[in-house]
Amino acid sequence: MFPNFPLFPKQASTLAGPVDALYFFLVAITAFFSILIAVGIVFFAVKFRRRHPDEIGHPIHGSLILELTWTLIPLAIAMMIFVWGAGLYFKLITPPADATEVYVVGKRWMWKAQHLGGQREINELHVPVGQAVKLIIGSEDVIHSFYIPEFRVKMDAVPGRSTMLWFQATEAGEYHLFCAEYCGMSHSRMIGKIVVMTPPDFQTWLSGGKPSGSMAEEGEKLFTSLGCASCHLPDGTGRAPKMMGVFGSTVKLQDGSTVTADENYIRESIMTPMAKIVAGYAPLMPTFQGQVSEEQLAQIIAYIKSLNSKASATSGTN
């Protein structure tokens, strides 16, 4: 579709083409008007130059048509760019419902990834070709930025919150992974690779690892060992809300407002539980700040998310 410039990485995801199309359009518009303005300045400077010292220019009363033209045409172009960019933005932040989830943690100076099955990787991420992959990204220390040039996707890893990035690779192979945010002295060494495999090869790779348990299973162990299970009872009769089916639901808070129970809400409830207190419950939960790592937080979140399927199964049998 576009010239194969060596300065540009190959297009290897479903998002790469649309991103490049908008980028090259912006470059073309910028070049066109830059050249038009530069040529116009030179042309009018030569054409209407003062030919003798006593020459006085003629007064110009203006042209409504000309003024409307140079106002409406740029407005139309700007609105087209806005609509185009907004549509692409919403596409970039809306992963498909069937996307495979992987949790990623940035740490000076490495990327750590954990699949839902429990398989762990450092500075590598194995994914299947043709399958949408949703990355839930966190940071253990400072701001990092997860950047895959060939996929045209980038997302910051921000301390204290979860961010999301998704992509769907279109071609098997190995692709560069960079940290695109200066994060310290060894920032340039925070590199890795994305290994895109055919679905059969990816399943073989998954089965080759021997994790101690899935992320949800490890999260359940943490949930129990930290004492959470003693208050968050499955039947909702405990001193804290039940966790089954809570992820993705609308939670009513003590102050009358509501919040969606997503990854960031669960994270905040664990680290700073007094920030948003659920209606009908006393502020009894202690903070776990400094007691759980970023990876352990991801495991607990994965466990709470897995309870949604158990809630669906329970309601189905009833």
Q: Are residues 130 and 230 in the same domain?
A: no
Quote the Cα angle for 151-141-169, to 5°: 15
Distances (CA, A) of 51 to 39, 40, 55, 56, 94: 21, 19, 7, 10, 62
Does the model's pTM come out above 0.85? yes
- Has residue 219 been placed in a domain? no
How many other C-beta atoms can be found within 10 angstroms of the C-beta atom of residue 136?
Answer: 20
Both tokens of residue 229?
């299970």
Q: Are residues 107 and 196 in the same domain?
A: yes
- Has residue 13 been placed in a domain? no
**Domain CATH code at residue 294:** 1.10.760.10
- Has residue 70 been placed in a domain? no
> Taking the C-alpha atoms of 225, 142, 88 and 148 in order, what is their torsion angle to the nearest 10 degrees?
-90
- Has residue 82 been placed in a domain? no
- 132-139 and 144-148 as β-strands: parallel, antiparallel, unpaired? unpaired
| Domain final residue, candidates 176, 208, 240 | 208
| Domain final residue, candidates 208, 232, 260 | 208
Domain that holds residue 181: 100-208
Choose among 139, 162, 127: nearest CA to 261.
Answer: 162
**pLDDT for 145:** 97
**pLDDT for 22:** 97
- Has residue 48 been placed in a domain? no
Q: Are residues 130 and 172 in the same domain?
A: yes
**pLDDT for 234:** 87
- Has residue 213 been placed in a domain? no
DSSP one-letter code for 13 = B
Domain count, the chain: 2
Q: Are residues 189 and 128 in the same domain?
A: yes
Both tokens of residue 97?
């419902």
**pLDDT for 52:** 84
Q: Are residues 105 and 204 in the same domain?
A: yes
For every one of its 318 residues, what pLDDT tens digit does the chain have, with 9 covering 90 and above?
455 556 788 999 999 999 999 999 999 999 999 999 999 999 999 988 888 888 887 787 888 898 999 899 999 999 999 999 999 999 999 999 999 999 999 999 999 999 999 999 999 999 999 999 999 999 999 999 999 999 999 999 999 999 999 999 999 999 999 999 999 999 999 999 999 999 999 999 998 876 778 999 999 999 999 999 899 988 888 899 999 999 999 999 999 999 999 999 999 999 999 999 999 898 889 999 889 999 999 999 999 999 987 655 555 545
**Domain CATH code at residue 121:** 2.60.40.420
- Has residue 3 been placed in a domain? no
**pLDDT for 310:** 63
**pLDDT for 237:** 84
Phi/psi of residue 73, each to 5°?
Answer: -65, -50
**pLDDT for 315:** 52
- Has residue 62 been placed in a domain? no
| Domain final residue, candidates 155, 176, 208 | 208
